[in-house]
Amino acid sequence: MDLLQRFAAGEIDAYETLVRQFQGEVYGWIVRIVRDPGVAEDLTVETLWRIYRARTQFRAEGNFAGWARRIATNLALDHLKRRRPEQSLVEEPAGEAAPDRVLQREMREAIQRAFRRLPAKLQAAATLALIEEQPYEEIADALGTSVGAVKLRVFRAVRILRKRLDHLGVRPEGLDVRVGK
């Protein structure tokens, strides 16, 4: 019996081997979505527990990495839906801000607020595609949707962000959608 068959059959040694192999990948995927290493650690532990509990639903001939990524993505999306809006996407560097940096910081904060107000599914797709530059195929697999749906979510996220930021008088450079990725 191969490792995935043994895992699906409930063998704890197979599960532990898979955890050692995929724990870093699961954590990396989650941190890309939630943008917070501490939260990502907690969600990784929960993901690994859910993987174990759902082992009977796994098809041994399936793609374990993709299946684990989907579980991780669902947990990360749930977190994004529940989280407090004041959480920051990017930590501000320590030190005194120069006068031109004040404007940059204000623009960055406006962008972060607008980004956090996006629906969780749009936020996750935009984060993975535009910030983390993940391939659309990988994002689609993790979100359990088609590549076309991912492209549409990214397009909608950018359109909403542009509208909100334009309303605030903020015009960030580089807020473009790369559809051919």
CATH level 2 (architecture), domain 3-82: Orthogonal Bundle (1.10)
User: What pLDDT is attached to residue 170?
Assistant: 66
Q: What is the CATH number of domain 99-167?
A: 1.10.10.10
pLDDT: is 105 or 14 the higher one? 14
The 10s digit of each residue's pLDDT in 72-112 is 999 999 998 887 554 444 444 444 444 577 777 877 787 78
- CA–CA dist 107, 148 (Å, integer): 31
Q: Does the pTM exceed 0.85?
A: no
- Per DSSP, 127 falls in state I
Task: Say if residues 8 and 44 touch (Cβ distance below 8 Å).
Answer: no
Model pLDDT, residue 109: 82
What is the rounded CA–CA span in Å between residue 158 and residue 130? 9
Strands (E), the chain: none
Q: Whole-angstrom Cα distance, residue 73 to residue 27?
A: 11
DSSP single-letter state for residue 57: G
Confidence check: pLDDT of 172 > 50: yes
Tens of pLDDT, residues 29-58: 999 999 889 999 999 999 999 999 999 899
Q: Quick one: pLDDT band at residue 173, thresholds 50, 70, 90?
A: low
Q: Where in the chain is CATH 1.10.10.10?
A: 99-167
